Amino acid sequence: MKKTLLDNTVSEDKQMLSVVNRRYFLRSAGVAAATGAFILGACTDHDIQGDQTVDLGSGDVGILNYAYALEQLEAAFYTQVMATPYAGMTAEEKMILTDIRDHEIIHRQFFKAALGGSAIKGLTPNFTSINFNDRASVLGAAKLFEDTGVQAYNGAGKLITSGDYLLLAGKIVSVEARHASIIRDLLMPNTGSFAGDDVLVTIMGFGGFDAAVPPSVILPAVQPFVMDKISGSNLPS
């Protein structure tokens, strides 16, 4: 019986859960990528127009590239945050932000490996609007990225046709939601802000749901933070 992407990740999940040392965690992810454990195939389903426009592609590959683009942005952001810590960063904040950085790097590398030859190029971030020396500016941007990430994964879920990929997206969005919660708590500690009531929506008269925002709305929102022009015109809708 042919193994699926999900089958190949089961043993990786178990290993990751048991690893405490962060360096080993990242190294293990790199080994998995290098051995091609998550490779989808060599077919190319994206196109770079000129040197500026990056076409995410179509179908499930396009959605995975969409997620890959967002994870590139988040990984680059937190890498910069930890490379140039803002004034007054506490030991607890450093620990939290380092963990988030490592998670985002793992997510980015996972999608890069999973997409193989179908992956879009590495994007160039544009963080000129963020003052990395200022706590409020950094955490405010982190809140924006995390809230956007959760809404993006929720909005893309219905567009995925593969059950395996949908399950993997669910595993990642749950981590992104925890990131969003802790960043909110850093901004407004000991309040209800961690629950994100300001971004929750009501469905069928019941509150407490995260919003699901489609790529057509998310991509223009994140475009100012990326130098490359990103096109999602071929994504499913």
pLDDT range class, residue 10, cuts 50, 70, 90: very low
What percent of the chain shows pLDDT beyond 70? 78
pTM (2 decimals)? Answer: 0.79
Mean pLDDT of 39-52: 45
pLDDT range class, residue 193, cuts 50, 70, 90: confident
Q: What is the rounded CA–CA span in Å between residue 236 and residue 232?
A: 9
**Across-strand partners of 117?**
none
Mean residue pLDDT across the chain: 83
Whether the per-residue pLDDT at 13 is higher than 60: the answer is no
Q: What is the pLDDT of residue 170?
A: 93
Q: What is the pLDDT of residue 200?
A: 84
Q: What is the pLDDT of residue 194?
A: 82
Question: Residues near 106 by Cβ (< 8 Å), separated by ≥ 6?
Answer: 25, 26, 29
Asked if residues 138 and 130 have their Cβ atoms less than 8 Å apart, the reply is yes
AA letter at 76: A
Q: What are phi and psi of 53, to 5 degrees?
A: -95, 125
Contacts of the segment 179-186: beta carbons below 8 A, 24+ positions apart: 179/100, 179/103, 179/142, 179/146, 179/149, 180/143, 180/146, 180/147, 180/149, 180/150, 182/96, 182/100, 183/100, 183/139, 183/142, 183/143, 183/146, 184/143, 186/93, 186/96, 186/139
pLDDT range class, residue 52, cuts 50, 70, 90: confident
What percent of the chain shows pLDDT beyond 90? 69
pLDDT in tens, 65-110: 999 999 999 999 999 999 999 999 999 999 999 999 999 999 999 9
pLDDT range class, residue 21, cuts 50, 70, 90: very low
